[in-house]
Amino acid sequence: MQSAIERLASSEIAFEKRGEAIGNAEEARRIFLDFRAALTRGEVRAAEKIGGRWTTNAWVKQGILLGFRLGELKEMSDGDVLSFVDKDTFPARRVTLADRIRLVPGGSSIREGAYVAPSVICMPPMFINVGAYVDEGSMIDSHALVGSCAQVGKRVHLSAAAQVGGVLEPINAAPVIIEDDVLIGGNCGIYEGTLVRARAVLGSGTILTRSTPLYDLVRGEIYRATSERPLEVPENAVVVPGSRAVKKGKGTEWNLSLYTPVIVKYRDEKTERGIELEDWLR
């Protein structure tokens, strides 16, 4: 499948000339639909952990971009009231009882090409975009977003209005990765390939990007993204929004400060008691 997708992604017929060679265009669409089904089943992923390290599968993002190029705009309706117009290659996914996903009524949507494992809970309204991977026992709360190709581990709670950013281009860019047992508070934003290691806790309103340094008060470290690596939140870290003084120019005179995330502790018994209610909610 990988070689077929890579071949199609570089094909002029698959992109600009699909209307001139309908037979080849139909073959391209067939290959893409097989690829999309494998994404939906979780058999291929935009990123995966190999030998303890996360690796981005650029060919998977090539396949998703191919789907947008092959797709045609189509009117889609949900009853007599709601109507949508989108590429016919990425319709909303219809969840059935056999999927064992708890999709609570109220305006949520999961796109075809996103893997959502059995036992995941989706609270309305939330959205999971194409290429995303959401593993078992996770909860995607109201108004939360799981962006394209984002990877969410087991037993993660993505709280209300939290945003996990997506990425398709450049194809070699790492997606946002949330490992197992992470608790993400309301109104958090995790973007630009940030890696949140297992069992971390992000307090409400925490924002993480490539340009945001992360200050560790416990270990006396400052974590930054580099050209080779994204920003990484250590295992068990408890992160809250903080600020740091501006010490140049008018910033000093005006007593200004800039936002920065701060690690204030690592998970302990008190932290565990504070979040054990999550098990009851599920």
Average pLDDT over residues 234-256: 95
Average pLDDT over residues 82-104: 93
157, 280 contact by CB (below 8 A): no
Note whether 51 and 125 are same-domain residues: no
CA angle 7, 8, 11 (to 5 degrees): 95
Is the pLDDT confidence value at 158 over 50? yes
| pLDDT confidence of residue 26 | 84
How many structural domains comprise the chain? 2
| pLDDT one-digit tens code per residue, 221-237 | 999 999 889 999 999 99
Mean pLDDT of the chain: 91
Average pLDDT over residues 254-269: 94
Domain C-terminal end among 18, 40, 73:
73
| pLDDT one-digit tens code per residue, 173-216 | 999 999 999 999 999 999 999 999 999 999 999 999 999 999 99
| pLDDT confidence of residue 21 | 45
Note whether 111 and 206 are same-domain residues: yes
Note whether 232 and 98 are same-domain residues: yes
Note whether 204 and 67 are same-domain residues: no
| pLDDT one-digit tens code per residue, 122-156 | 999 999 999 999 999 999 999 999 999 999 999 99
| pLDDT confidence of residue 206 | 98
Domain of 44? 2-73
| pLDDT confidence of residue 4 | 87
What one-letter code names the amino acid at 50? Answer: I
| pLDDT confidence of residue 7 | 81
Strands (E), 6-112: 47-50, 53-56, 73-78, 82-87, 102-103, 109-110
CATH of the domain at 60: 1.10.166.10
| pLDDT confidence of residue 22 | 44
Q: For residues 12 and 257, which has the higher predicted lDDT (pLDDT)?
A: 257
Note whether 172 and 49 are same-domain residues: no
Note whether 206 and 110 are same-domain residues: yes
3-state per-residue secondary structure call for the chain? CHHHHHHHHCCCCCCCCCCCCHHHHHHHHHHHHHHHHHHHHCCCCCEEEECCEEEECHHHHHHHHHHHHHCCEEEEEECCCEEEEEECCCCECCCCHHHCCEECCCCCEEECCCEECCCCEECCCCEECCCCEECCCCEECCCCEECCCCEECCCCEECCCCEECCCCCCCCCCCCEECCCCEECCCCEECCCCEECCCCEECCCCEECCCCCEEECCCCEEECCCCCCCCEECCCEEEEEEEEECCCCHHHHCCCEEEEEEEEEECCHHHHHHHCHHHHHC
Average pLDDT over residues 60-64: 95
Q: For residues 24 and 213, which has the higher predicted lDDT (pLDDT)?
A: 213
| pLDDT confidence of residue 276 | 60
Tokens of 12: 């002029």
Note whether 182 and 257 are same-domain residues: yes
| pLDDT one-digit tens code per residue, 63-87 | 999 999 899 999 987 766 778 899 9
